[in-house]
Amino acid sequence: MAAFLSWLCIIIITGLTLIVFLQVISRYLEIPLAGTEELARFMIIWLTFIGTSLAIHEKIHLAVKYFVSLVNENLQKMINILVDIIIIILFAILGFYGFDLTLLSMGTSSSALQVPMGLVYSIIPITAVFSILFLSANILNVLKKGVASS
């Protein structure tokens, strides 16, 4: 799952680089390509959400660990599990309302590309599901093996 998301990020970054390069060249030649700015914006949105899921999988998301490090290892594990559960709840809420937004905006098209905005917003519930799966796997690891999450 994470490998797929990593490859998707690589593809998006490569595409984003090419699109922005084409946009700069076409503007310099005074023949701007329609929709390149909008497509770049959509790609950045997708990249951000996918990157969030990958950061959760790799345990490199933002966290304040100072206070947790002051307590014993068993309590640290319990705190980390509690934090993961809270984050799962927040992602469930984000996924629920993101899915609702996706359905509501399927009839709305973007201005330049005429892409259904629901397609753009669909990344919200998709990455919410990935994030919940990664967090759940982390909790199971801690419970089964006693491996402390970061």
pLDDT in tens, 19-32: 999 999 999 999 98
**Token output for 44:** 């950045």
Please give the mean pLDDT across all residues of the chain. Answer: 94
Mean pLDDT on 77-89: 95
pLDDT value at residue 147: 59
Q: At what angle do helices 2-28 and 36-58 cross, to 10 degrees?
A: 150
Q: Where are the alpha helices (DSSP H) in the chain?
A: 2-28, 36-58, 73-104, 117-121, 123-145
Q: What local confidence, expressed as pLDDT, does residue 108 receive?
A: 98
Q: Is the pLDDT of residue 146 over 90?
A: no
User: Which of the pair, 76 or 65, is modelled with greater confidence?
Assistant: 76
Mean pLDDT of 54-65: 88
Decide if 115 contacts 42 (C-beta within 8 A): yes
Domain ranges, ordered by start, for the chain: 2-145
Q: What's the pLDDT tens digit per position in 90-114?
A: 999 999 999 999 999 999 999 999 9
Mean pLDDT of the region 5-17: 98
Q: State residue 15's pLDDT score.
A: 98
CA dihedral 44, 49, 54, 56 (to 10 degrees): 140
Is the pLDDT confidence value at 61 over 90?
Answer: no
